[in-house]
Amino acid sequence: MYFKPSYLNLKSFIFLVLALLTIESGFSKTISLKKSKIENKIEKATLVSIFSKLSQQTDYKFSYGQAVIADNTTYTVNFTGESVTSILSDLSKKANFNYNINGKLVLIQKTAAQKAVNTKAADKIRVKGKIVDENKVPIPGATVIETGTSNSTVTDFDGVFELSVGDGKTIEVSYVGYKTKSLPAQASFMTIQLEPSTAELNEVLVVGYGKQSKKDVTGAVTQLEAANFKQGVNVSVDNLLQGKVAGVRVVNTSGEPGAGVNVTIRGVGSIRSGSTPLFVVDGMPLTNDDVSPSGTNVGFGSSTAKNPLNFLNTSDIESITVLKDASATAIYGARGSNGVVLVTTKKGSKGEGTLTVDSYMGVSTVAHKLDVLNAGEYRSAIKDPAFDHGGNTDWQDVIFRSAITTNNSLSFAKQTETGNYYASMAQMDQEGIIRNSNFKRISGRINAAESFLDNKRLKLKMNLTASQTTDDGVPTSDDGGSNGQLIVHTLMANPTRSVFDANGNYTNFNMNAHYNPAYLLSIFEDQTRTLRVLGNLEASFRIIDGLEYKLNLGIDRSTSERNTTIYPNLTDLNPKGKYVQNNLDSKNSLIEHYLTYSKALDKHKFEVLGGFSYQKFERSGTSFSIDGISAQGAGVKPSINPGFAGTQSGTTGYAQENELQSYFGRLNYSFDNKYLLTASMRADGSTRFGDNNKYGYFPSFALGWNISNENFLKDSQTINNLKLRASWGQTGNQEVPNKQTKASYSLAGPDGYYLYNDLNLVNGVSVSRTANPDLKWEVVTQYNLGLDFNLWNDKFYGTVDYFNKTTTDAILYIPSTPLSQTKFIWTNIDGKIVNKGIEIMLGSKIIDRKDFSWNVDVNGSTLNNKIENLPLSEILTGAISGPGQSGVNANIYKSGYAAGSFYLLEHTGFDQNGANVFKDQNGDGKIDNSDRVIIEGALPTFYYGFNSDMRYKNFTFSFSIIGQTGGYLLNNTGLNALNINNLASDRNVAAGYYESGANPANSPILSTLFLEKSDFIRLNAARIGYNFDLKGLNWINGLTLYVTGNNLITITNYTGFDPLVNTPKATDGNQSIGIDYAAYPTSRTFSFGATLKL
Amino acid sequence: MKTKTFFSIKVLTLFSFIFLLNSCTDLDEVFLDEIPGNTVSDPAGSLAAAYDRLGDGTFVDHGAIFAMQEYTTDEAILPTRGSDWGDGGKWRDMHEFTWSSSNAIIVGNWDLLTNGITRCITAIQSAEQSSIPEKKLFSAEAKALLAFYTYTTLDLYGQAPYKDPMDPKATLQILKADTQIDKLITDVEALIPDLADIGTQRTYHGRFTKQAAYGFLATMYLNRAVFKDRYNASSNFNFNEPALSGGGTDMDRVIYYTSLLIDSGKFSLESDYFKNFARDNDNGKELIFAISQKIDYIRNGSNSFAYVCMERNQRTSAANRGTNAACTTPEFYATWDGNHDDPRFEQHYQYADGTWFMNDGTDVSVPATDIVPKSANLPWFHFNRGIQAGLQYGPILLASGSLEMVGNRIKVSPLYMEKSTGTRMNFTPSLTFSDPTKSVFAQNEINQGARVFKYEFDPEGGNGNSNVDIPLFRLGGIYAMRAEAYFRKGNTGSAMDDLNKLRTSRKRESLFGNAAGKALTSLDSQQLYKELGFELYWELQRRPQSIRFGKYDLAGTAKAASQPFRRIFPIPQTVIDQKVFQQNQGYN
């Protein structure tokens, strides 16, 4: 194994040094002055090199603007024994500049005469001043412009500026994120304080490889600031987006703390597993792969890995930007097709250092208990008296609990004149609402930035976070099979059973697939410990004004160990006990070089970006199991010493790596702030692609028109902003397993045979795939048409986008041609997946007064998904779990229908005996699989969010509502756990099924009986806060007490735990959609907390 | 301004150029955990993989080839039992003849068999490209296995894919049953000189030897007429066509090859019929070609054929149970009328201390001295073997996790159905479906059906694993084939001799005085068909037998009379989608 990035780093550093030397060579030939003493020398040089030399040889620092840099004339300077003052005095006359020595700082200002502007020097006054922010901290880099001219300057790092302006003229001061201020020029020193802009319009958006002012953005980009995140208890960053961004659907795969989250942006663009957007944290693209192993099936089904984003402490996050259309995402090329989520962590903010302590404590309970028969109802429902065991137990109450969450975080941060830092530590301890399930996280972060060299020529920024998460799982899964898993057993456990028997032991139901859920909890342990460290270093070097070279080095490293134990037990699921250890090691390293050049020429504004990126992903893991472990409580736990007892079995390991090498470029051009153009291109090479298709090319074009800047609207008081955007572009998706393009084999015992008469096992050749040397990325071509508007000073604002996203060359795992090495092959198919929809976001600052403000916004999106020209008759996915359900699939992908449509028998009711009646679709008098119908709606067609934020004096009150319509959920919980059939087999049923008149003799058959509308509307989060006035305590900056609630009220007809659930379970690599696999139920949480700022 | 712009473009170009040179990688994928390359250079490993495919599901799991060869016949049925075994109708499809080209069993078996073909092609290539001493042997065995997989595919699907192993650019060919059967026969005959004699060159009954080839050739000749005229409306197949070699007819060749085995002296009939299907059958005297199985926690043999019949409350130990799935049909059960004393019908178990398990309500207890191998001292309860009907008795699992004991013996009690606790475990030979066309039981009817405990339930590795070798060609079956061939040639006397050899070589357990089976005194086609069932039930032979005897299309339990096109299965829809194969007639 060799390590490419380090070789790379060396190479790039050499390159950087070389590049610097080239630039430096102008000076080095002639300058050999000693420090502080200026030696006898007469020479010719440009102003820049003269100042550079002077600053090297003396203590003075020089600050100058574009005009000085632009002056390529060489001037003769006599350094002989002269003081700096006299040199400058002499030079200022020759080169037409003014200078001002301020301590050790020399400010150079080219006089206007140099550019032969038609203003007379005599009419000019020299305005000097300082620009400060709301905290009276100087703002470097603010633009000061003489109104109506192009005569401008930029403040230095002390926020100081100097500008010659016409007498009686006004100057305008502007800085990104602040309201532009215009005021009459004065000869006296002006201290100008800028107010932060709250206007929508002046927002700066984080975009791929940079930032853009919102008015210049041509793509569909939505940015959420911390204040707008989903409130309350959130483990991971993706949850913060729920209900907040049009077109983004955030669905938990289960209610388990730390469980996976399913984020889809603009629908499902892919049939196979892999519709997750690309997450980029502080410029470091993460892999979508899990960073912790999934749990091996020890009898209750295998469980999925935890959410890989759990490592980020949500309170460290400053903003989340969602890039939706191709104009915004194409710069991420082969990973952009599912949208991109840019996560930006906090920086030190201006002003005094801040120390923030936030603590909260929350209590969670199950949001919705299912209505099953209680002991009394059950007794009267059963026909067979043997099913009455004399007890009275609500099994849901037995396994659910009031779970406590505590979260404490501490951060301190500061911005200095040249840099900033932010450091935080946080600890989160969340109990799950099912006993024994827990999530714990300890995390730390340091973000630091500092500037070096003249006028911040070199900026270095480092982000580093490390976290340790510990998950304690319970035996829940999405593939419990006919034996079921914990939730299934809880729901169907006979309510006349008791938890404990007369001897105080857990009651043994003593039947296969009839297990006491409390007993299951007691014999199972599943702990996952994951350590993840993510760090990156960004260097930015200004070569000349406007031209910057940037370097981004990043590393994302994680190790995880999962210990799953089922102790020797009285069930027939591993009665001798079993211990499985799964380890996963992953590393993702990145190096990026890019150049940005920005230039404003009169009304033309250019921004050019060009770069190179190399990323390498390494993954490896091992797994082994021990059968026949020692009894619970006896001996040493196998997770501590696997060798203590039992026999080892099933030892495996793997190691894989893949690389991405990319070149990218982008041009942003705007004319007169009215017409905007963005064009970008990325070439992505991936080791995952076949030899015949190493590089994919992903272009995009976008146009924007700031209509409100046109003359006819310029003075409108109603319309503050009106912008039309149109974009087209292509992005890719390379989420396909590694190693698909080349043939290989391994030797494996399970594929071997007892070849010789000694009956020893000869390992067999195992071929795990059919190679596809033509494999390439999936292409998503997306059109987007958008309109942004702000009316009546943000009293009403909004965005409307129409999108059409078509996936071609879709990567699919399909049956291979006969006699291929394996029965399936990863290949690009000719079919298309089309996602169309409209996204609307409307907002209003209804009230904006000193004592009372109220903002609301609403977002919604429609989605129309269709599969076209699939070269297969159908792809069946969505394997149903439960007795008598093996090989039963609920989802179908078929041309002409939406992705993941349901394929079921149509249940029309019950006959007089309570038997199922299904519709005989083909009229052949027989009900069989050919009578199944396709029902679209695994994806809701409309989903929305509503957010309100109110502040009255010291009180704040905010809430958030989410909802969806037009979709269905296949209630596998009902089919599996709560079928009427259970009444005939000593199990419980859902009250609703019992009352429906169904006959307990009916066998569980997948049909529309279990297909339910997933429409709902939910009060997702609410928060009341109080900010204390602590005028007497000047050492406290603020104290806020708050109460939040999550998942408070849900209105739905869905009979399962939660209509907002999606467990994407793959069948042969293709994902299921819209199936509720009796997942760990969701919780309702109330929390109380305090934020103290010092 | 202009110069400055120029300068930056220059810089940009320079940078871009350096970036280009700075390419980090040629994007060649690195394989860390596999051996890259198109050719497999491990002849033993690739031959092992070709053998592995016989097991690993294909011929050892009730849901694989068994489901197509047995559930479609009178010998076996897997009805929906209350909450269990609905499974989207795939089991009922098999017995009710309602399968379509997307039935999971049909799709799955196609994949298994064609994967067998693929593995054989790799094994042939790997052997041919090697210079190992076993080159010829391995190559011949791989070719023989290729023929075996191909034959089975043609038998079930009428078509099979093929690629020339020796031509890397070979295109896919589609073989058809009616023409390919002749090629297969001549190919296998040509391989015989290179195959080992069983027991030589480190071979045993787990390998494809000369003797396996004889059994296979007899089978192919016996079915050649059906292959050539699959859809014959009156099932009037011409079994006496001239053979491809050796003069004579197909039936002569069956007699020739079976006689080679019968007369070889290498095999002999077991007097204990059920030893052929027991845990210790790795030294079975009858086994000519079998799938070798072991519980080694790596590859693990399959216990499926034993597990599939046993009720969930029938426990060979506290750590084992059955799954209450398949049973036999009333028609097949009825063929045994008057033959319940045949040693192949049923066999009681006798414990070391002399205790018999009577399973008739008279049992009190059995000794707990038999211990499940490699277990934590778990007492091992032995059920009786053969066809089990009527009320069932056995040990009861206590809530404590142990079997109920009487003193230090295992207590025997009346058993009840596990998923219908009030229903007595009564394996009624009759199957009473509320709708006779649908093999669906309500929860309190899940007890029905006589069970086939022919294969020994191996309790050693949970419920799923077994040490029992699964016979593919067994001397008993060779006699049965020869009997059928004699019969079809009109030589009823010789046919009866062979059948009587089978009947009388088997002895009943000592409970019945080690009585030998009774000889037949007359033989007709109906009786011959029954005899084939007696000897070979549940050995994946019934469908070809029933087609040869014209029984396949007839109505039966939960099955209406069917059309001849159902004598073969459809090509899976997933394969048709690739537009290489044409669908079989009747399935479009």
Lowest mean pLDDT among A29-38, A396-405, B121-130, B418-427: A29-38
Residue A19 has pLDDT above 50, yes or no: no
CA distances A878 to A258, A361, A966, Å, are 23, 38, 19
pLDDT for res A304: 83
Bigger pLDDT: A648 or A280? A280
pLDDT for res A517: 95
* Phi–psi pair at A767, nearest 5 degrees: -110, 120
User: Given the structure tokens 């199957």, which residue do they identify?
Assistant: B431
- Express the helix, strand and coil content of chain A in percent, nearest 5 each: 15, 50, 40
CA distances B133 to A756, B128, B145, Å, are 15, 11, 20
Query: What are the tens digits of pLDDT across the range A978-1010?
Result: 887 888 888 999 998 888 888 888 888 999 999
Query: What are the tens digits of pLDDT across the range A707-727?
Result: 988 888 888 888 888 999 999
How far apart (Å, rounded) are the C-alpha atoms in residues A1038 and A1032? 12
pLDDT for res A16: 43
pLDDT for res B348: 97
Segment 108-127 of chain B within 8 Å of chain A by CB: 111, 114-115, 117-119, 121-122, 126
* Phi–psi pair at A922, nearest 5 degrees: -95, 5
Lowest mean pLDDT among A714-723, A1040-1049, B83-92, B532-541: A714-723
Segment 105-134 of chain A within 8 Å of chain B by CB: none
Nearest to A1086 by CA among A1046, A1057, A1058: A1046
Bigger pLDDT: A762 or A274? A762
Residue B383 has pLDDT above 60, yes or no: yes
pLDDT for res A314: 92
Pairing state between β A105-110 and A97-102: antiparallel
Query: What are the tens digits of pLDDT across the range A302-361?
Result: 888 888 899 999 999 999 999 999 999 999 999 999 999 999 999 987 667 889 999 999
Query: What are the tens digits of pLDDT across the range A202-216?
Result: 678 889 898 888 888
User: Given the structure tokens 């003593």, which residue do they identify?
Assistant: A510
How far apart (Å, rounded) are the C-alpha atoms in residues A629 and A638? 7
The minimal CB distance from B48 to the residues A482, A593, A762 is found for A762
Query: What are the tens digits of pLDDT across the range A731-749?
Result: 998 888 888 888 888 888 9
- Express the helix, strand and coil content of chain B in percent, nearest 5 each: 40, 15, 50
- Name the percent of chain A lying above pLDDT 90: 53
What is the end-to-end Cα distance of chain A in Å, rounded? 50
Query: What are the tens digits of pLDDT across the range B286-316?
Result: 999 999 999 988 899 999 999 999 999 999 9
**Which stretches does DSSP call E strand in A324-433?**
340-345, 354-366, 403-415, 420-431
pLDDT for res A65: 66
Band of residue A140 on the pLDDT scale cut at 50, 70, 90: confident
Bigger pLDDT: B100 or A348? B100
Average pLDDT for residues A249-259, to the nearest whole number? 89
pLDDT for res A14: 43
Average pLDDT for residues B226-254, to the nearest whole number? 95
Q: Compute the count of residue pairs across chains A and B with CB atoms less than 8 Å apart.
A: 325
Query: What are the tens digits of pLDDT across the range B152-182?
Result: 999 999 999 999 998 878 899 999 999 999 9
Residue A498: burial class (beta carbons within 10 Å; 0-12, 13-18, 19+): middle
Residue B476 has pLDDT above 90, yes or no: yes
Band of residue A195 on the pLDDT scale cut at 50, 70, 90: confident
Task: Please tell me the pTM assigned to this model.
Answer: 0.84
Residue A20 has pLDDT above 50, yes or no: no
pLDDT for res A1062: 85
pLDDT for res B22: 57
The minimal CB distance from A884 to the residues B8, B85, B282 is found for B85
Segment 206-235 of chain B within 8 Å of chain A by CB: 206-207
Band of residue B10 on the pLDDT scale cut at 50, 70, 90: low
Segment 258-277 of chain A within 8 Å of chain B by CB: none
CB A310 within 8 A of CB A291: no
Bigger pLDDT: B2 or A886? A886
How far apart (Å, rounded) are the C-alpha atoms in residues A467 and A444? 6
pLDDT for res B23: 59
How far apart (Å, rounded) are the C-alpha atoms in residues B42 and A745? 10
pLDDT for res A24: 38
Residue A785 has pLDDT above 90, yes or no: yes
Nearest to A77 by CA among A57, A61, A59, A103: A57
Contact criterion met (CB < 8 Å) for B86 and A884: yes
Band of residue A497 on the pLDDT scale cut at 50, 70, 90: very high
pLDDT for res A317: 94
pLDDT for res A46: 75
Q: Is B38 touching A (CB cutoff 8 A)?
A: yes
Lowest mean pLDDT among A59-63, A145-149, A664-668: A59-63
Question: What is the residue-averaged pLDDT of chain B?
Answer: 93
Average pLDDT for residues A795-819, to the nearest whole number? 92
Token pair listed for A383 = 């026909």
pLDDT for res B459: 95
Token pair listed for A976 = 């599996």
pLDDT for res A119: 43
Token pair listed for A55 = 């600053």
How far apart (Å, rounded) are the C-alpha atoms in residues A1023 and A1045? 6
Instruction: Give the helix/strand (H/E) hosting A765.
Output: strand A762-766
Band of residue B61 on the pLDDT scale cut at 50, 70, 90: very high
Bigger pLDDT: A124 or A80? A124
pLDDT for res A392: 95
Which amino acid, A171? I
For helices B177-191 and B210-228, the axis angle rounded to 10 degrees is 160
The minimal CB distance from B399 to the residues A510, A663, A929 is found for A510
Question: What is the residue-averaged pLDDT of chain A?
Answer: 87
How far apart (Å, rounded) are the C-alpha atoms in residues A355 and A926? 73
Residue A172 has pLDDT above 70, yes or no: yes
Q: To probe the interface with B, which of A745, A777, A1010 has the most B CB atoms within 10 Å?
A: A745
Which of chain B's residues have a Cβ under 8 Å away from the Cβ of A508? 399-401
pLDDT for res A12: 47
Which amino acid, A1020? N
Residue A450 has pLDDT above 60, yes or no: yes
Average pLDDT for residues A915-924, to the nearest whole number? 91
Contact criterion met (CB < 8 Å) for B89 and A744: no
Lowest mean pLDDT among A539-553, A705-719, A907-921, B469-483: A705-719
Average pLDDT for residues A1074-1079, to the nearest whole number? 90
pLDDT for res A3: 40
Residue A5 has pLDDT above 80, yes or no: no
Task: Quote ipTM for the complex.
Answer: 0.94
Band of residue A17 on the pLDDT scale cut at 50, 70, 90: very low
Contact criterion met (CB < 8 Å) for A756 and B399: no
> What is residue B316's DSSP assignment?
S
How far apart (Å, rounded) are the C-alpha atoms in residues A39 and A80? 6
